[in-house]
Amino acid sequence: MVRLDLYDYLGKRKEYGGDFLRVRIHSPSLQAGASGHIKDYRNGTYLVNFTLFWEGAVRVSLLLIHPSEGVSALWAARKKGFDKIAFTGQFLNGTAAVLTPCGFNISGRAELCEYRDERDQEVFYCVKPKNVPCEAFVLLKSSNKPVSYLTDLEQRLLKRSNIGVAIPEHFGEIHVLTCNRGNSTPSKQCSVGMRSPPFPSGFVWHDQWYPVFCRLPGLGTLNQINTCLQRKMVYFMGDSTVRQWMEYLTNTVRTLKIFDAHGIGKLQNLLAVDMAGNIQLQWKKHGHPITAHSYTMKDHSYVAREIDNLAGDRDTAVVVSLGQHFRPFPIKLFIRRILNVRAAIQHLLLRSPGTRVIIKTENTQEMPTDPERFSDFHGYAQYLAARDVFRDLKVGIIDAWDITVAYATTEIHPPDQVIGSQVNLFLSYIC
């Protein structure tokens, strides 16, 4: 346990909590790492609890991502509107392209095209181009808009140099010895429907992830992966962090061939097949919002609706990953979306109890130069919400947040060894 007392810039002891911290232990020589559990006493004192999973010289890392004042500013700014991202829709008028503003909330008196899912109350708008029908909407692109809801003082507080500041370590390395308490390896194999994983849910050792709540069956070799995927239909739904899983599998299993779906840009949907093994993998991007990309609207739908279209069976697996693209918007948008996905999963498991459903939580990303839109604080709030929403369903939860903190990755798209650990846990859930 590490007790942490925080002081303000003038050296005065803080009397309130709410600071956003990131903590881990690690042993570089063993390629080992694990996150810690933080208890906030709301008076400037924090107690960080680390589980010592391995022997050897262990170091402690304590990072102040945002002080509580920065957290308050980010939370207040997030709730104020949808204007931090600009959407531009492309409509076709014959062969000519017409561009028009789009978004979740468009003010003014212009005539609008409304794209509404009545059941799930998902809605998106575009300003209607003159003499062009709303059905002619073909492409959408997005970009950061020069809008901020932060004051000048708050923006100074959130400068990059003030994000992720290391808290000095005065205790050096911890030397961990075996306690002779017997074998603590989990006895149950990882499977869907297990109780929600604890935090920390595992640890990295020799660059591999080991969950603490279940036992991995060992699916690391090419033959084992091939055997696991035989006759499987796997549907990856969500953002590019789960698209990485599909890319990892197609790069590993050379008999899986990507089908050219004639899409546009990096966000085109993916389909891969292995005819001999009767394996099919598919990735589809989630519905609005998608930020910093251009994409076609003709293969675009909400995850809940995609799940509704699946019959499901014991050889079908569904993986859902939502979060990164929702960070610039009020959190109510994200919560409504995952509640709709939850309902769709419940319906799927009623009509096909053998279908395996996996929820990949959001992962950490780079320390942003634009924290108002993309700070990990926003991602962490969504991570906690998703854990609560999917907690009691018969699904497998892969805690990508915990995994990326343990690995100390600083990329929205983690490196291969991190993706490999996530995929290994995924395969254990479906096989």
Residues 6+ apart with CB under 8 A from 345: 307, 318, 320, 357, 390, 393, 395
Q: 217 and 258 share a domain? A: yes
Is a pLDDT exceeding 70 seen at residue 262?
Answer: no
Q: In this structure, is residue 192 part of a structural domain?
A: no
Q: What backbone torsions phi and psi does residue 285 show, to the nearest 5 degrees?
A: -70, 150
Is a pLDDT exceeding 90 seen at residue 72?
Answer: yes
Q: 268 and 136 share a domain? A: no
Q: Give tens-digit pLDDT for 121-175.
A: 999 999 999 999 999 999 999 999 999 999 999 999 898 888 888 988 777 889 9
The mean pLDDT of 342-363, rounded to a whole number, is 97
Q: 397 and 346 share a domain? A: yes
Is a pLDDT exceeding 80 seen at residue 196?
Answer: no
* pLDDT classification of 255: cutoffs 50, 70, 90: very high
Total domain count, the chain: 3
* pLDDT classification of 430: cutoffs 50, 70, 90: very high
Q: Give tens-digit pLDDT for 263-282.
A: 655 678 899 999 999 999 99
Q: Which domain holds residue 330?
A: 202-430
Q: 210 and 239 share a domain? A: yes
- What pLDDT does residue 183 have? 62
The mean pLDDT of 224-233, rounded to a whole number, is 93
Is a pLDDT exceeding 80 seen at residue 220?
Answer: no
Q: 328 and 306 share a domain? A: yes
Q: 168 and 96 share a domain? A: no
The mean pLDDT of 8-13, rounded to a whole number, is 92
> How far apart are the C-alpha atoms of 377 and 35, rounded to whole Å?
16
Q: 43 and 140 share a domain? A: no
The mean pLDDT of 400-405, rounded to a whole number, is 97
Q: 386 and 249 share a domain? A: yes
Q: In this structure, is residue 149 part of a structural domain?
A: no
Residues 6+ apart with CB under 8 A from 369: 160
- What pLDDT does residue 266 have? 60
Q: 250 and 391 share a domain? A: yes
- Of the candidates 396, 304, 284, 388, the residue with the CA atom closest to the CA atom of residue 346: 304
* pLDDT classification of 194: cutoffs 50, 70, 90: confident
Q: 123 and 44 share a domain? A: no
Task: Quote the pTM value.
Answer: 0.94
Q: 328 and 389 share a domain? A: yes
